[in-house]
Structure 1
Amino acid sequence: MKTIAIIGAGPGLGFSLAKTFGKHGFRIALVSRTQDNQYAEQFNEMGIEAKGFAADITNKMQLTAAFQQIRNTFGTIDQVEFRSLMEICQ
């Protein structure tokens, strides 16, 4: 099974991307400023394996640690999607 890390996972585009990839057999790593597993729980209820990870995308050390936690949890990261409000606003 493949794993996708969605950076900037939130209620809009990040959630929709996670749902779409999850329905196609991906495990979902949701990376946001807080490790809020609310979305992961919703995906798990849909039969999609998902987990939340905390990292501030402006902090390289936090982001590196989050990627290591994702690898420890899921084994590999096959795809990364970067969807942050910062990206949209710049």
Structure 2
Amino acid sequence: MVKTIAIIGAGPGVGFAVAKRFGKEGYNVALLARSEEKLNDLVKQLEAQEISVASFYADVLDRNSLKDALVAVKKHFGSIDVIEFSPTPSM
């Protein structure tokens, strides 16, 4: 069974590097962040590398938003096996 990593606070730095690494290892990648534009860009880059990826809106400062996003990830991929928490310092 394919494993899934959820990257909370996904961005172009550490989050993207983690997404690429796990994606190349065969993981499904769930990107969670506030910026849909940023998420769309990251998804395009990862899909170009044939990585199974999906994006989900989440505001780490809003507990319900984060919970809803994680529930959506589980519905989409079936499970979450690894969580990477890497929100930007601008929070």
Per the normalisation by structure 1, the TM-score is 0.91
Shift of 1:41: 1.8
Residue 46 of structure 2: aligned partner: 43
AA aligned opposite 2:55: G
Aligned residue in 1 for 2:59 = 56
Deviation at 1:34, TM superposition (A): 2.5
CA contact (8 A) 1:41 1:50 kept: no
1:23 aligns with 2:13: no
Give the letter aligned to residue 3 of structure 1.
T
Contact 1:7 1:30 in 2 (8 A): yes
Q: For residue 67 of structure 1, what is the aligned residue in structure 2?
A: 70
* Secondary structure of the structure 2 residue equivalent to 1:11: coil
Whole-Å Cα distance in 1 between the matches of residues 40 and 74 of structure 2? 18
Q: Which blocks of at least 5 consecutive residues in structure 1 are unaligned?
A: none
Aligned-partner Cα distance in 2 for 1:51–1:41: 10
Give the aligned partner of residue 9 of structure 1: 10
Provide structure 2 residue ranges, at least 5 long, that are not aligned to the other structure: none
| TM, length-normalised to structure 2 | 0.90
CA RMSD in angstroms, aligned pairs only:
1.5
Deviation at 1:56, TM superposition (A): 0.5
Question: Within 1, Cα distance between the matches of 2:63 and 2:87?
Answer: 15
Identity score, percent: 41
Question: SS in structure 2 opposite 1:76?
Answer: coil
Counting matched residue pairs gives: 88
